[in-house]
Structure 1
């Protein structure tokens, strides 16, 4: 198979998944000496179109881990909007220092169902969306070096088999249930209804949070109002230029404290070739 195009496809509210997927795609495109194009799935409008890929395409598909799997409100996009007619893929998930659990298995299963042949896959650590104390500064140079190793191995595999690769086998169970977040007391932390609050003394009404909300749930006229679903992605918190967004839900904060207590050690990446 002659690779003609490389694509980077990602949902990445806080940027870690985008960074890894785009770096992988850039390296693959360099090795194959072909064009590379990035396709974001971050915003509602970006998730409307069906993306169809063909033989000759290598698609790097990435997603963050939410509660041990793919984000449940974004999963339908991966299932329904990414289609393959003979395209190859590399699957990448990110996780915030606890565990990638079953997210990579789920992503590989979705890609296989949609007609992709997944040549390689990897789970990589990135700073947790909830706390800078969890995997600070990651992905770091060591993470990026392993990413290049995975990419180079995948390209070599594609060349060696002329694109007739067997689907990679990864850890995890695609059908497993979501991880149940826990609080400091070890009991389930229920914060599904938690939504970001706004410090109106800091807010300058720039509207950035409303424009960037992956669910389109922040009112553009009054950004203190969250009128739709919140997936706790932290994009509004992370990207607010004045630090005006925050969460104060007790169960959410207890879960964050538990993570900071129990998961501050250096977690490892894992690649599958």
Structure 2
């Protein structure tokens, strides 16, 4: 089988990267242990300025996190610019143990509109971007065992020359982006909530380096020059726990997620 394996992902905290890379590596191992995987990590804004095109000889494992039940809207323009030209795609979404809602069907639709053949799809669980306890340390070994089995099934499908498109769960038209509610039960918009910086900051600039929107000011890391998508990268990577949120509605939503969705959910796979 003369196929080029590609791992392509947006992964501010590394969970989507782990899933996508695991699938790509196992497929590559089945095809040819010496085959190099082409990795396109489009987490940082500079990478999203470069055009990407594939061919019919490519297999592309595409992964994004789920934000409010959908593909992150800040990625839509970039994803729509990626050209498939008949490449096979595995659509992968990673969510924080609440629900992936319509994210997987939305990603599948984007890929198909771009000329990909979506032959497999999966919704996996990663530690929630808001929390260090909700789906803590996932994807874990059980998840990665499922990743390996999934990748082996994908290889078998490709090897049998069965390149039929799949059907995945989700609504059309897509549901609106999920919104939390305040204590009165009224939906609240937390999109403009931004992280604060406390006295533990040592100005190491790590938060500047990991921000997927390039929004944290280099000279004054307590300031933002752009939007915050609540990806959790600056908070989870800060070595001194200097970044935090204090917005009442955000913290209420975080607490409710941790309580209401504590029970473990398992990946859902489509072949």
- With the length of structure 1 as denominator, give the TM-score of the two structures: 0.95
Answer with 65-74 or 140-149: which moved more.
Answer: 140-149
Cα 1:7–1:25 shift into 2, 3 Å? same
Matches within 5 A, 1:120-135: 120-135=120-135
Give 1:123 shift.
0.3
Partner in structure 1 of residue 55 of structure 2: 54
* Matched residue count: 268
Matches within 5 A, 1:126-205: 126-161=126-161, 165-173=163-171, 175-176=173-174, 177-183=176-182, 185-199=184-198, 201-205=199-203
Answer with 214-223 or 31-40: which moved more.
Answer: 31-40
* SS of aligned partner of 1:265: coil
> What is the distance in 2 between the residues matched to 1:22 and 1:14?
14
Partner in structure 2 of residue 7 of structure 1: 6
Partner in structure 1 of residue 92 of structure 2: 92
> What is the distance in 2 between the residues matched to 1:246 and 1:65?
21
Answer yes or no: is 1:219 the counterpart of 2:217: yes
* SS of aligned partner of 2:54: strand
Answer yes or no: is 1:71 the counterpart of 2:72: yes
Answer yes or no: is 1:27 the counterpart of 2:26: yes
Residue segments in structure 1 that go unaligned for 5+ positions in a row: none
Residue segments in structure 2 that go unaligned for 5+ positions in a row: none
> What is the distance in 2 between the residues matched to 1:69 and 1:232?
14
Q: What do the CA deviations read for 1:159-185 (whole angstroms, capped 9, x no partner)?
A: 112xx5111110002531211223455
CA contact (8 A) 1:3 1:57 kept: no
> What is the distance in 2 between the residues matched to 1:112 and 1:135?
31
> What is the distance in 1 between the residues matched to 2:135 and 2:154?
26
Alpha-carbon RMSD? 1.3
CA contact (8 A) 1:109 1:174 kept: no
Give 1:187 shift.
2.9
Runs of 4+ deviating beyond 2 Å:
181-187
> What is the distance in 2 between the residues matched to 1:239 and 1:185?
34
- With the length of structure 2 as denominator, give the TM-score of the two structures: 0.95
